[in-house]
Amino acid sequence: MRRLVTLSALAAAAVSLGAQKVAPVNTGRADRVFVNGRVWTGEPGKALAEALAVRGSTLLEVGTTSAIRRLAGKGTDVVDLRGRFVAPGFIDAHLHLVGGGLSLEELRLDDASDFAAVAARIGAWARAHPEERWVTGEGWSYAAFPGGLPSRVQLDALVPDRPAFLSSYDGHTGWANSAALRLAEVRRATKDPPGGEIVRDAAGEPTGVLKENAQQLVERLLPKKLPHEIERALRRAIAQAAAWGLTGVQQAGISEEELESLARALEATPQLRVYAALRMERDPTPDVLASQDELRRRFATPRLRVGAVKGFLDGVVEARSAAMFEPYSGGGTGLEHFTREELDRSVAAYDKAGWQVMLHAIGDRAVEMALTAFERAARANGTSGRRHRVEHLEVPRTADLPRFKALGVIASTQAMFPYPNANHLDVYVPALGPERARRALAFKAVDDAGAVQAFGSDWPVFTAEVVRGIATAVTRTTFEGTPAGGWEPLQRLSAEAALRHFTRDAAYAEHAEQERGLLKEGRVADFVVLSQDLLALPPERIKDTKVLLTVLGGQDSFRAPGF
């Protein structure tokens, strides 16, 4: 980015434009000014501005270029944005930094859309890593396999010499080869564990597919990542997040050990703010609550803050494990991980102790249970304003949508979940059937019901590249433009609504809207400069937008080469 070097150059420009009769006095109060931009502030009624002034880590003023220039002085860094688009720093309301960081270095099967592609990637990775005792990886989609599920026989042919275990893109289904099943002692006679299923063939033999909790039969044997490997993955994840324009993220579930690694990683790579959710325990004892509270008190800085707990109420649609009122096409109504009584008790205990509770709830029955648990907790404890959250919220009953606003519950949805690839159209939609598919991932209906909708990615389930999330929410097509007009096009959002969900609404979802999510005097100077104006572009071109600069607390956390 070109900088204006001298004040005389500025004055000359002002004179030549005839902008001012009386030369303005420059106060020099700003450390940095960013001028000549197209600034989307996110503020209702005052959404557009041209320039920003930063002092220390906060915004001194947002306004016109001429007004902001008056805040510059001799030592002020002046950045000419040359018409570029500026937005509040992006905030991802639901992701997994450890998994995301590891995904940047592991065997990934994303975008391998048929079995030939899956096989080629596994074979190449296994050949390139003969030293690894296991072949592990993730990201396969159900649609890549005839019938929607893989088999151990296929994997035996690709990895005959050692155990292999590969997770589906949503993390709810595992694929083991015969060596891995042998080590895990999964046989014909092995019983399904609670909350899980060992898929079997017509003869009763395990096929290699392990659903939900059954994955742990193999996962517990995997070589554990060492703390320094976790920390390295986290540093990579943080730098990548900054390059995607993120200034804040909300970590959906973290262990104490990972939290320590995250604190160290953020010290080494101070490029992101993280709001973290601990794991929600079933019927937490006073001891559990005390130790979680201790972590909440220890991690309470602007860079790393613990404020929520996250629990899983059900599974996913593709594996037919999300809890539904009515059976899936093909049968079954899914698995609940809590009884209603257990859930009500656990949520009430956390609500009483001042926690925000995040519940993964995808099926309509799970969403109803979550809302009811939040409602009962507030009533029993006499609490309000906890901003409890339903995570994913994929297939709610239409009648439950107004309850979000009424109860002050956050709708935490993921902008790329309606991405209509083969997996979505050939596995997800048919499992639901047409009536439920119409109310699935219905972002517009959630907005119209008056809920605060916070967007996230669920990285590494989908990329956390925010412009791709916005593109998907606006078009509801793939990046190749299919299906024409978008999947369930009535649920498309405007670019401005999608931006709001990734900024102000996501800040609200972590109780941070007084500091962040808007560009306004006195707020933290977290913002992003993009190559194109998201609000003026044809929707199909949003996906090509590049992040040029990410500013966190007034400092650059990412700068694109050449900017």
Binding residues for Zn ion (CB under 5 A): 252, 458
Task: Give how far the C-alpha of residue 149 lies from the chain's centroid of Cα atoms, to the nearest Å.
Answer: 26
Exposure string of 238-259, with b = 16+ CB inside 10 Å and e = fewer, is bbbbbbbbbbbbbbbbbeeebb
Nearer to Zn ion, 100 or 148 (CB): 100
Q: How far is the CB of 518 from Zn ion (least distance, A)?
A: 26
Nearer to Zn ion, 58 or 216 (CB): 216
Q: How far is the CB of 253 from Zn ion (least distance, A)?
A: 7
Nearer to Zn ion, 98 or 109 (CB): 98
Nearer to Zn ion, 459 or 558 (CB): 459
Q: Is 192 helix (H, G, I), strand (E, B) or coil?
A: coil
Q: How far is the CB of 276 from Zn ion (least distance, A)?
A: 13
Peptide bond into 434 cis (omega under 30): no
Q: How far is the CB of 98 from Zn ion (least distance, A)?
A: 12
Give the C-alpha separation, 171 to 186, whole Å. 20
Q: How far is the CB of 91 from Zn ion (least distance, A)?
A: 16
Q: How far is the CB of 18 from Zn ion (least distance, A)?
A: 56
Nearer to Zn ion, 92 or 458 (CB): 458
Q: How far is the CB of 254 from Zn ion (least distance, A)?
A: 11
Could you give the residue ranges of the DSSP H alpha helices within 195-254? Answer: 216-219, 227-243
For the chain, report the end-to-end CA distance as a whole number of angstroms.
5
Nearest CA to 266 among 295, 296, 236, 293? 236
Q: Do residues 251 and 277 touch, judged by C-beta distance below 8 A?
A: yes
Nearer to Zn ion, 247 or 250 (CB): 250
Nearer to Zn ion, 61 or 92 (CB): 92
Tell me the β-bridge partners of 311: 359
Q: Do residues 101 and 237 touch, judged by C-beta distance below 8 A?
A: yes
Q: How far is the CB of 94 from Zn ion (least distance, A)?
A: 6
Give the C-alpha separation, 246 to 105, whole Å. 20
Nearer to Zn ion, 145 or 355 (CB): 355
**Cβ within 8 Å of residue 308, ≥6 positions away:** 250, 275, 276, 277, 278, 355, 356, 357, 358, 389, 510
Give me the phi and psi of 488, to 5 degrees please. Answer: 45, 65
The DSSP secondary structure of 390-457, one letter per residue, reads EEE--S--GGGHHHHHHHT-EEEEETTTT--SHHIIIIIHHHH-HHHHHTTT-HHHHHHTT--EEEE-
Nearer to Zn ion, 463 or 531 (CB): 463
Burial of residue 301 (number of CB atoms within 10 Å: 0-12, 13-18, 19+): exposed
Nearer to Zn ion, 60 or 280 (CB): 280
Nearer to Zn ion, 61 or 391 (CB): 391
Nearer to Zn ion, 242 or 359 (CB): 359
**Count of CB atoms situated within 10 Å of the CB of 107:** 20
Specify the residue for token string 């494990």. Answer: 321
Q: How far is the CB of 459 from Zn ion (least distance, A)?
A: 9
Tell me the β-bridge partners of 165: 136, 176
Q: How far is the CB of 252 from Zn ion (least distance, A)?
A: 4
Nearer to Zn ion, 145 or 462 (CB): 462
Q: How far is the CB of 249 from Zn ion (least distance, A)?
A: 12
Nearest CA to 256 among 211, 298, 295? 295
How many CA atoms within 13 Å lie on the side-chain side of 26?
21
Q: How far is the CB of 456 from Zn ion (least distance, A)?
A: 8
Q: Do residues 249 and 277 touch, judged by C-beta distance below 8 A?
A: no
What does R_g of the chain's alpha carbons equal in angstroms? 25
**Cβ within 8 Å of residue 202, ≥6 positions away:** none
Q: How far is the CB of 458 from Zn ion (least distance, A)?
A: 4
